[in-house]
Structure 1
Amino acid sequence: MDTTKKGGIPLHWLMLIGFVIGLGAGLYVNQYIGPDVAWVQWVTSNVTGPAGQIFLRLLFMLVIPLLFSALVVGVAEMGDLQSLGRAGIKTLLLTILVSAIAVVIGLGMVNYFRPGDGVDPALAQALLAQGAEGAAAIVEKAPESVQFGTFFLDLIPSNVFTAAAENQILPIMIFALLFGIGLVMARSPNTDKLQNVIEGILEVTMKLINLVIKLAPIAIACLMFNLAALFGWDLLVRLAAFVGVAVGAMAIHMFVVYPLVVWIGGGMNPLTFFRGVQRPMIVAFSTASSNATLPVALKAAEEELKLPRKIARFVLTVGATANQNGTALFEGVTVLFLAQFFQIELSITQQVVVMLVCILGGVGTAGVPAGSLPVIAMILVMVGVPAEGIGLILGVDRFLDMCRTVLNVTGDLVLATVVSRGEKDDPVVIEPDPPVTVATVA
């Protein structure tokens, strides 16, 4: 997704440069100067700290309109449910199911390998004290056991505006989901106009996020300087472990879950499937863009997998926005990794909340560069983790973005294969030639 350029240099290269500069300067300070020196503390408190916070607050400012509009539009685009019938319902249910499996795999891997463990607890608590001012103290309020009655009751906001003001992200996403379903059910000229307005809000929000993301190289340098100055080389070790766990979880979903779904749900040999989708996978990895890969995926679905054209076009077009398995998995892994890094133990209840937000976030994540950042930032605030930790993963996000885009695009083709089972294209009706009248000569 990273095609935006600034000053002629691709944005992802600028982000990498900012990561390297911030990391190098922070490691130098940690090894040779010390984070407790007066001028270092002044710089982190008055320059790099506020610069990073500005970037994060801009993301927070846009997250509510982004998620609401993206989720409503993503569901409303399934308005073809009325014309496609069971195919549309299967698409929606399979999207939720496969995304849930992806998130569970990611959370299971992070809980088992615990890539965020191992940093100095004193340093973690020091940064936690600095960065937790804007985070909700949900860690202290969360129950130790899952109380399902209260949990599901809290999903329904009694006042959606109050929920938005208090950054209760999951109730807002539930409201957006219901709003989108209502928009599909109440089709009329007026609701079509309303959908156009919401699509306009989404376009404006995505444009603003594109502008905010252009500040990412500076923000990454500032955030990484603060983190590296405090944690030193432990930072690189934990970061490498994070990348390993994230890629491992994606590999399990790609080479275990997808083949099983294709085989059992789609009735197709997994080897045949993967031979047919090689080109979309390569394009997805090289461009890191689901939208850019869509034409190639459509061609592969029709010519290589021999899927019905109307089903393939519907599922792949909707899936490019709404079926983001790799993004959902990545968000869950990142949140739990950063919670471990800052020595914050999340209860079962909180992990269930994270899982649900990631599943819905996979539908509501915008197709813009680093579009998952606002969702991750908001989840971090929900569970009391300093949002500054985002700086840790931004430097390696380009590679992980390429990997999760392959997972997203392949997941769309898996979904199209399963939904297409038992479906046929509408037969082409050939009108008979009009009868030829022969004049009779008397």
Structure 2
Amino acid sequence: MPLTLFAGWYRLPLYYQILLALLLGIVVGVAWGSDAAVLALPGKLILRLLGALAPPLILAAIVHTLMTAEFGGRDSLKLARLLILNTLVAIFIGLSVANLIQPGVGADLVVPATHADISQKSANPNPLVTFLDNVPKSLFGPLGDDGKVIGVIFIGVAFGIALRSQRERAIGTAEDLAELALTTLIRVLHWIIAVVPLAVFGIIASIVGTQGFGGFKALGLFVASVIIALTLQAIYYLTRIRFGSWVRPLMVLRGTRDALVTAFSTASSTATMPVTFRCLRDQVGIREKSASLGALVGANFNNDGTALYEAMAALFIAQMLGMQLDLQQQILVVLTSVMASVGAAGIPEAGLVTMTMVFNAVGLPLQFIPILLTVDWFLDRCRTAINVMGDINVSCLIDGKRTGTLGNKP
């Protein structure tokens, strides 16, 4: 019976698992009160592993994407310029809305004590805390001079198991090596994502038990703020199409609605790529090269909705903790969001991976990420639709003001 329940649990979509973990965490947090604080430790372990894996995973994704993407000609330079501009505009919109509405102000969450503080207060430190301190904060940290052998063992076991299925694979080119590295890192990421609901349960129970529901009252305003920002980004896309392409905005929306609905329902811009390409070419009438550059090549780099969300999430958590991110820190959020979003389209749960990098860049505690995960299943679908709309925008602008293949005229 337990095995049946276990198998049934993992057959559920991840967002169902997270919602159930949220509800269970609230119940346990209310029932246990301050005693639920101990449940945060497994969640911190999972988030630390995710934070350690994120930088090399993004690095491998960028290297693989740049090696395999087909570039060439003036249109490719225009593609790069449009992708950078769209991402910067998205982050600017996100930061502006978050600074204006300030959805996290008034939550008054308390920054948790560090593990060192816990150890100093106790003559007999918790074994779980000691174990957590030995888990590597970065993938290559244990291989340097920190001297934590347990971290080396963690890395060796994880990648040894992940590479077993690839041990017969032939490596003939540098591209093969880059693909092997990315495949292995994504396999390890799947293992971590599988236990993310456990992190949500433990940390939500801990927050509710020790700090009450203050942190969750602001979530509704945060969701509304993100939707407002994503809507403004969509208006920006359609405005650029109106003045920079032969296609009309309403025509684009009608012709690509299948792609937008697919993006919202699957929460995957990668899975939506062929649908986007077909809609642009067959329904809108964009030239095949323009549709290919925007919907297939550009989609590997374009994550405007995700970058917007990461920037807003960082400000939201900072506001909840009463931390003021100055202009320099917000610029750092912008730079980190841009770099983290490049090449992340093919990574499962890309927003969760890149969020750890953005939080680390400005010193925000990762253990508050589970608060965002409780609404992320919905916002992920919204921002994926915006990511795909960004691909559509780029294709239309590359096609320019010339007549389309279906004979439509401006």
The structure whose Rg is larger is: 1
Matching residue of 2:81? 93
- Which residue of 48, 63, 66 maps to 2:57? 66
SS at match of 2:379: helix
Matching residue of 2:346? 367
Task: Detail structure 1 runs of 4+ shifted over 4 Å in the superposition.
Answer: 130-133, 422-426
8 Å CA contact 1:77, 1:318 repeated in 2: no
Matching residue of 1:288? 267
What code does the residue aligned with 2:249 have?
P
Give a deviation string over 1:208-242, Cα, whole Å, max 9, x none: 11111000111110111112223322222111111
After TM superposition, give the deviation of residue 425 of structure 1 in Å: 10
Distance 2:40 2:28 in 1: 15
Matching residue of 1:395? 374
8 Å CA contact 2:332, 2:362 repeated in 1: no
Q: TM (normalized to structure 1)? A: 0.74
- Which residue of 174, 178, 182 maps to 1:198? 178
8 Å CA contact 1:328, 1:362 repeated in 2: yes
SS at match of 1:115: coil
Matching residue of 2:226? 246
Distance 2:15 2:115 in 1: 26
8 Å CA contact 1:113, 1:245 repeated in 2: yes
Matching residue of 2:71? 81
- Which residue of 11, 17, 22 maps to 2:20? 17
**Bigger Cα displacement from structure 2, 377-386 vs 209-218:** 377-386
After TM superposition, give the deviation of residue 130 of structure 1 in Å: 4.3
Give a deviation string over 1:108-144, Cα, whole Å, max 9, x none: 1111111111023xxx34x3434898xxxxxxxxxxx
1:306-317 residue pairs with structure 2 within 5 A? 306-317=285-296
Structure 2 unmatched runs, 5+: 1-6, 118-139, 146-171, 406-410
8 Å CA contact 1:74, 1:318 repeated in 2: no
Distance verdict in 2 for CA 1:305–1:285, change over 3 Å: same
Matching residue of 1:222? 202
Structure 1 unmatched runs, 5+: 134-160, 167-191, 427-442
After TM superposition, give the deviation of residue 74 of structure 1 in Å: 2.6
- Which residue of 108, 114, 129 maps to 2:113? 129
Are residues 1:340 and 2:323 paired? no
Matching residue of 1:55? 46
Give a deviation string over 1:246-303, Cα, whole Å, max 9, x none: 111111111x201111112223221111111111111111111112212211111111
8 Å CA contact 1:309, 1:425 repeated in 2: no
- Which residue of 114, 117, 121 maps to 2:105? 117
SS at match of 1:283: helix
What code does the residue aligned with 2:20 have?
I
Distance verdict in 2 for CA 1:108–1:224, change over 3 Å: same
8 Å CA contact 2:303, 2:345 repeated in 1: no
What code does the residue aligned with 1:24 have?
V
SS at match of 1:7: helix
Paired positions, count? 352
What code does the residue aligned with 1:114 have?
Q
What code does the residue aligned with 2:318 have?
A
Distance verdict in 2 for CA 1:422–1:257, change over 3 Å: closer
The percent identity for this pair of structures is: 30
Distance verdict in 2 for CA 1:221–1:324, change over 3 Å: same
Matching residue of 2:251? 272
8 Å CA contact 2:245, 2:397 repeated in 1: yes
Distance verdict in 2 for CA 1:408–1:131, change over 3 Å: farther
**Bigger Cα displacement from structure 2, 333-342 vs 364-373:** 364-373
Distance 2:257 2:75 in 1: 25
After TM superposition, give the deviation of residue 326 of structure 1 in Å: 0.7
Give a deviation string over 1:332-373, Cα, whole Å, max 9, x none: 111111111111111111100101111222213253432222
SS at match of 2:342: helix
Distance verdict in 2 for CA 1:367–1:19, change over 3 Å: farther
Matching residue of 2:167? none
Distance 2:33 2:182 in 1: 45
